[in-house]
Structure 1
Amino acid sequence: MARATDPGSELPEPTGTDTSPPPLSHRRILEIVWALVLCLFVSSLSATVVGTALPTIVGDLGGQDQLAWVASATLLTTTVSTPLWGKLSDLFGRKKLLFYAIGVFVVTSALAGLAQSMGQLIGARALQGIGAGGIVALSQAIMADIVSPRERGRYTGYLGASFGVATVAGPLIGGFLVDGPGWRWCFYVGIPIAAIAAVVLHRTLKVPAVHVAAKIDWLGATLITTSATSLLLMLSLAGIEFDWASGWTVALSLLSVASLIGAVFVERRAAEPILPPRLFQVPTFRLAGIIASFLVGVAMFGAMIYLPQYLQVVRGQSPTMSGLLTLPLVVGMLVVSFLTGRAVTKWGRWKVFPLIGLPLMALGALLLSRLHSETSMVYASVAMVVFGAGLGFTMQTLILAVQNTVERRDLGIATSSATFFRSMGGAVGVAVFGAILSSRLSSEIPRLLAERGIRPPAGSLSDQLGTPDEIGLLPEAIRSVVRDGFSMGLDSIYLVIVPLALIAFVAVLGIREIPLRSSQSDAVVESEAEAIEAVGRAGV
């Protein structure tokens, strides 16, 4: 059992294979961090850059009915592959695996740009998501390898910034490329950036070679992947390709549950499980890595996916302008993320920040629920800043908390699992919020038409709700009804986010905080309970 030796709760040096690389200089760490930021930026950009290009892609390749899968295929494979990359990196080393992930991303990006049919493009995008999943999982884990938990806050803000910048820059870059060299460059644009990042990492990242003589748990990996894939397919397709109350929904749900039960059985008996059951014995992993991360994913993706809907449909802004108008959210997230990282490093404490951030997210969502067609953009910007600040306090801090309370041998899988649950939350949130929006539109638009004495247009409701440009071509009276209906539906989405953020707050509140270790070579204790006991004995 590990014991604290001083009020700083530093733990004894690790033994055996639980070794750490020599401390790196601040300059060398920054070089590595910026290379990781470039990797994360291009992986995030691959998901956001195609939005403005989709109409042109469909016009060139055809396949209107497959349009959604150009984006969904990448999200699906990114999510399900993340924990597999994390576990494999624990067994075979993160640097080697990251280069493999970058290689997969580069090759499949080129294949996507060369696609001659929608089927080829969707297949390339699915494989591209596998590479992106590796980049996301391993970048966070490498950061944990090279920087102690206490100092990590200084650098994690950069990683979080890459996602926010890609969210805003993606539509802008996509629009520029479609109007310029063509939509295929939406997939080519990340290749040179990823290549530069790989060269920098090869030159600067020096970590011990790792190879654990263990049999890979392929059965557990298959069952976990099947469970997650079935759930994501059901959430992505229900209400679009088939009804929510349909045989397909039931079949995919049963397959997901059965695979999950099988995975639990297999993982409890595997010599080297893909998702070690011992992680679930760590309270911080359960509360911060699973519950809070999942709910933050729901809230984050709900805000970021549906804010452009408000700006484009309700306010009539162009895709490019809507991207610019979401800058307050991104700026709030980036600034607070940087300041939070500095404060974490200075004080060695993390819990207070999500306890501030999650109520801010709830408040921001409540403010966003008041948006309508005549709302001042100053008010909308303030609401976005508040929500973004809440994310900045919370998102990276939860991962840091998880990393601080697991054994080094589980660092990769613990980090990637927290990311996995956040991505799963995002997928669930997008599906559930989409259902809420569709339900409100189906009820509110007919009601508003009748209330205002407007004769309903010919055809079904879905025929009238196309792209924002198509909605903009509707007669003024009908367009006003559609915009008000969208505003009411989006209000419901943001109101749902409020209690979810507060539930995450309660989950974090229940965590017994362990001060961040101030040395990368500090041993990681056998369980969080022992760490708490050790800290108590040291008088912390």
Structure 2
Amino acid sequence: MPHTQQEEVSPSDSMNQQQPSSTVVVDKPDQPAINSKTLDFWLIIFALCLIAFASSLDGSIIAIALPHISQELAAGDEYVWIANSFVLAQTVVQPPCAQLCNIFGRRHPMILAVVVFALGSAIAGAAKSTIVLISGRTVQGLGSGGILLMVELIICDIVPLRERPKYLGIVMSVSAIGAIVGPIVGGALAEANWRWMFYLNLPIAGIVLSVMVVFLRLRHDPVTWSVALSRIDWVGNFIFIASICAVLLGLIFGGTVYAWSSWKVILPITLGVIGWALFHLYEGSSLCKEPCVPSRLFHNRTSMGGFYIVFISSMLLQWVCFFWPVYFQAVRGASPMKAGVDFLPFMCFLIPGASVAGIALSKIGRYRRLHVAGFLMSTIGPGLNALLKERSHKAMWAGFQMIDAIGRALLLPTVLPAILASLSEADVASATGMYSFLRSFGYVWGISVPGIIFNNRINEISFSIADPVVRMGLQNGKAYQFASGAQVQSLQPSSRAQVIDVYLGALKVVWIAAAAVGASGLFAVAVEKHVPLRLELETQYGLEEEGAKKEPALPVSDEPEKEAV
């Protein structure tokens, strides 16, 4: 199989050519080899796409149906946990799951994750009380978190690094479709029988399990249970899960259940940050024999840049998805369904764009170019959104969405290969686990941060609303719920004009802040180095029938990577 070649120009050769005496690394990237894929391979890719679709669908399907479910089960204030328990469990499980994959291999954890996801779906579908439904959603989240990690990890195990962006783009596009259609499916099933929102996962899980059991045969060195249990980082995992749960609880409660200034929000976030610092100290100490998050992952400028990029790109994706509907409903008076239709330009460019970006990276092998372009458009797009007015032309807001969507699409499938390029194949599981965790963590921050900015700006400028009842209906975190098009349009003309101006003023600040966060991504790209994407599959976990080479782990170095020129 062809390799990426590097030629060193020695000092003596340079002198003979009357060039300065220095060593230059010249990169000659070969085209990725075109290998014929077996039927087993394509069945596995199909199963990964199917379960990624189901997992993403389940994350968004509850939104529209939640009021109906809450009323039927008399959920009261506990309704917030029907959605948030899923997010919490999905986020915290990923790095610990990555360590289990290193110990037990990939096949059994993947099958277990699908089984847990199906079990949670069955519990949630059969729930007769709120506490049972929340329990089912928590179990679902644990399975979904494992699935999100394992889908990407298995792709890393069955294709070389240079080819991974192409397949990551395909799977992520299918996953994005699940997130898009989730609210639509949820709304339709809520009117019929909301329990089928969860039962729908059971036949999908059955198909995926059938494929995985028969065709997912990956190489793995088995170990005894005593050895496996001794390798688990029990202390590190406990500190990690407790710390992240504390931070997430603060972020979930803040601005919804309690004010951001409440000690019930500040205390868990503070304790979580302290715990996070203790976790990293422990992981890097001699007390931890086999850390679940090795400190060497963060000793490399390219991987560090990549981890920051996935966090802020995920945050920005959630950011725009939550605040475009506010513009359409509160400012333009659209119904929720019409707002969803108006948001289609973003989604229609995001989904195919991710596939195209993955194929492009597999072709050219240069991720930094795609990251620069992605963040430029992710900065320009929200910046242009700040220009929108009540009567802005459709071509204007649709065009702005397209720019922003292309920027997001260029980043979706290209960040993980950049992180893995500078690390050993032995660190694929740990690095992918941290990547998946930061992506989910970014989604949570993508709701909290713009929410804080939006509500603070509303409080600052809502004095312009003459009617005190209407003004109080927007203040102190109530503006997002008030944004329903029908509610705004029902106001008196004078009050409606004032409310729309307030929403435009708050949204302008939200979009400018998003542009600033997007611009910070360019600094992260500047930190990255170009590292050639490996053309050979060097793993101990490849498909047995593909004869993946079982080689020792690649050396991990803290030295800066050599940039190809």
TM-score (normalizing by structure 1) = 0.89
* Separation of aligned partners in 1, 2:210 and 2:53: 16
2:141 to 122, 126, 129: 129
* Separation of aligned partners in 2, 1:318 and 1:109: 31
2:202 to 191, 202, 209: 191
* Separation of aligned partners in 2, 1:138 and 1:9: 32
What is the CA deviation profile of residues 318-369 of structure 1, one whole-angstrom value per residue up to 9, with x for unaligned ones? 3333333322112212222222222222222222111111111111111222
**Structure 1 residue 161 corresponds to structure 2 residue 173:** yes
* Separation of aligned partners in 2, 1:191 and 1:467: 36
2:322 to 273, 280, 305: 305
* Separation of aligned partners in 2, 1:372 and 1:436: 19
Q: Which amino acid aligns with 2:314?
A: G
* Separation of aligned partners in 2, 1:490 and 1:198: 45
* Separation of aligned partners in 2, 1:491 and 1:66: 33
Do the aligned partners of 1:109 and 1:128 also contact (CA within 8 Å) in 2?
yes
2:445 to 419, 425, 428: 428
* Separation of aligned partners in 2, 1:305 and 1:175: 18
Name the SS for the 1:150 alignment partner: coil
**Structure 2: gaps spanning 5 or more residues:** 8-25, 30-34, 540-550
**Structure 1 residue 271 corresponds to structure 2 residue 285:** no
Do the aligned partners of 2:454 and 2:506 also contact (CA within 8 Å) in 1?
yes
* Separation of aligned partners in 2, 1:238 and 1:75: 15
* Separation of aligned partners in 1, 2:278 and 2:559: 31
Matches within 5 A, 1:96-175: 96-175=108-187
* Separation of aligned partners in 1, 2:5 and 2:457: 59
Larger radius of gyration: 2
Do the aligned partners of 1:101 and 1:134 also contact (CA within 8 Å) in 2?
yes
1:399 Cα deviation from its structure 2 partner: 0.8
Match of 1:283 in 2: 301
Matches within 5 A, 1:61-460: 61-180=73-192, 182-211=193-222, 213-214=227-228, 215-268=231-284, 269=286, 270-289=288-307, 291-447=308-464, 449-450=465-466, 454=467, 456-457=469-470
* Separation of aligned partners in 1, 2:328 and 2:213: 42
Residues 211 and 369 (structure 1 numbering): CA distance in 2 closer, same or farther, change over 3 Å?
farther
**Structure 1: gaps spanning 5 or more residues:** 12-22
1:88 Cα deviation from its structure 2 partner: 1.1
Match of 1:14 in 2: none
1:101 Cα deviation from its structure 2 partner: 0.7
Name the SS for the 1:351 alignment partner: helix
Name the SS for the 1:379 alignment partner: helix
* Separation of aligned partners in 2, 1:328 and 1:460: 31
What is the CA deviation profile of residues 440-487 of structure 1, one whole-angstrom value per residue up to 9, with x for unaligned ones? 22233331x23xxx5644965467854726625732333443343333
Q: Which amino acid aligns with 1:55?
A: P
Match of 2:47 in 1: 35
Name the SS for the 1:284 alignment partner: helix
* Separation of aligned partners in 1, 2:485 and 2:127: 27
Name the SS for the 2:198 alignment partner: helix
Residues 446 and 116 (structure 1 numbering): CA distance in 2 closer, same or farther, change over 3 Å?
farther
More relative contact order in 1 or in 2 (CA 8 Å, sep 6+)? 1
Query: Which sits farther off after the overlay, 334-343 or 34-43?
Result: 334-343
* Separation of aligned partners in 1, 2:388 and 2:75: 35
Do the aligned partners of 1:157 and 1:396 also contact (CA within 8 Å) in 2?
yes
* Separation of aligned partners in 1, 2:482 and 2:512: 25
Q: Which amino acid aligns with 1:231?
A: V
1:394 Cα deviation from its structure 2 partner: 0.9
**Structure 1 residue 471 corresponds to structure 2 residue 487:** yes
Match of 1:486 in 2: 503
Do the aligned partners of 1:33 and 1:158 also contact (CA within 8 Å) in 2?
no
Residues 237 and 442 (structure 1 numbering): CA distance in 2 closer, same or farther, change over 3 Å?
same
Q: Which amino acid aligns with 2:66?
A: L
Match of 1:60 in 2: 72
Residues 344 and 445 (structure 1 numbering): CA distance in 2 closer, same or farther, change over 3 Å?
same
Name the SS for the 2:413 alignment partner: helix
Matched positions, count: 517
Match of 1:18 in 2: none
What is the CA deviation profile of residues 16-47 of structure 1, one whole-angstrom value per residue up to 9, with x for unaligned ones? xxxxxxx8716543322221111111111111
Residues 250 and 442 (structure 1 numbering): CA distance in 2 closer, same or farther, change over 3 Å?
closer
* Separation of aligned partners in 2, 1:137 and 1:10: 33
* Separation of aligned partners in 2, 1:309 and 1:494: 12
* Separation of aligned partners in 1, 2:96 and 2:75: 32
1:76 Cα deviation from its structure 2 partner: 1.4
* Separation of aligned partners in 2, 1:528 and 1:334: 36
Match of 1:20 in 2: none
1:224 Cα deviation from its structure 2 partner: 0.7
* Separation of aligned partners in 2, 1:234 and 1:127: 21
Q: Which amino acid aligns with 2:238?
A: T
Q: Give the aligned CA root-mean-square deviation in angstroms.
A: 2.6
